Amino acid sequence: MHHIRDFWHTLLHAFRNLLPIVIVVAFFQAVVLQQAPEGLWSIAMGLGIVVLGVALFLQGLDMGIFPIGKNLSNAFARKGSLPLMLIFGFCMGFSTVIAEPALIAVAEQAEAISEGRVSALTLRIIVAMSVGAVVALGIMRTVLGHPLHWYMICGYITVVGVTFFAPEEIVGLAYDSGGVTTNIVTVPLIAALGIGLASSIRGRNALTDGFGLVALAVMVPMITVQLYGILVYNFAEADASAVANGAAMAEEFGAEDAIATGSGWLMVLVRDLLLMVRDVVPIILVILVFQYLVLRKAIAHLPRVVAGFAMVVIGLYAFVVGLKLGLFPIGSSMAEQLIGLDGYLFLYLFAFAIGFATTMAEPALIAVGKQAEEAARGKLNGSVIRILVALGVGIGITLGVHRIITGDSIHLYIMAGYVLVILLTALAPRYIVALAFDLGGVTTSEVTVPLVTALGIGLATHIEGRDVLIDGFGLIAFASIFPIVTVMLYAIAIEFHARFRGQVP
Which residue type does 309 have?
F
Cα atoms in the 13 Å half-sphere on the side-chain side of 211: 27
Enumerate residues 6+ apart whose C-beta is below 8 A from 91. 132, 286, 289, 290
Query: Which regions of 121-273 does DSSP assign to beta strands (E)?
Result: none
Compute the distance between CA of residue 334 and CA of residue 327 in angstroms, rounded to an integer: 11
- Determine the angle formed by the axes of helices 120-144 and 186-200, rounding to 10 degrees: 20
**Other CB atoms within 10 A of residue 262 CB:** 9
Compute the distance between CA of residue 302 and CA of residue 233 in angstroms, rounded to an integer: 50
- pLDDT 10s digit of each residue in the chain, 505 long? 677 888 888 888 778 777 887 888 888 888 888 877 777 788 788 888 888 888 888 788 788 877 877 777 777 777 777 888 889 889 888 887 886 766 776 777 678 767 778 888 898 899 899 989 988 988 888 888 888 778 888 888 898 889 888 887 778 778 777 777 766 666 777 777 787 788 877 778 777 787 777 778 888 888 998 899 888 888 766 555 544 444 443 333 333 443 344 446 678 778 778 877 877 788 888 888 888 888 888 887 888 888 888 888 888 788 778 877 776 677 667 777 887 777 788 889 988 998 898 888 777 787 777 777 777 776 677 788 889 999 999 999 999 999 988 888 887 888 888 889 889 998 988 888 888 888 887 776 556 666 777 778 778 877 777 776 667 767 877 888 899 999 999 989 888 888 887 754 4
Q: What is the pTM of this model?
A: 0.72
Tell me the DSSP string of 287-318: HHIIIIIIS--PPTTHHHHHHHHHHHHHHHHH
Give, as one character, the DSSP assignment of residue 263: T
Compute the distance between CA of residue 122 and CA of residue 133 in angstroms, rounded to an integer: 16
Question: Are 118 and 229 spatial neighbours (Cβ–Cβ below 8 Å)?
Answer: yes
Domain that holds residue 361: 2-503
Compute the distance between CA of residue 154 and CA of residue 157 in angstroms, rounded to an integer: 5
Number of structural domains found in the chain = 1
Compute the distance between CA of residue 40 and CA of residue 91 in angstroms, rounded to an integer: 44
Compute the distance between CA of residue 472 and CA of residue 479 in angstroms, rounded to an integer: 14
Q: Which of 397, 433, 392 is nearest to 413 (CA)?
A: 397
Query: Which regions of 117-185 does DSSP assign to beta strands (E)?
Result: none
Compute the distance between CA of residue 450 and CA of residue 453 in angstroms, rounded to an integer: 5
C-alpha distances (whole Å) from 442 to each of 19, 218, 311, 360, 448 are 20, 9, 21, 12, 10
Please provide the size of the chain in residues. 505
Question: Are 139 and 197 spatial neighbours (Cβ–Cβ below 8 Å)?
Answer: yes
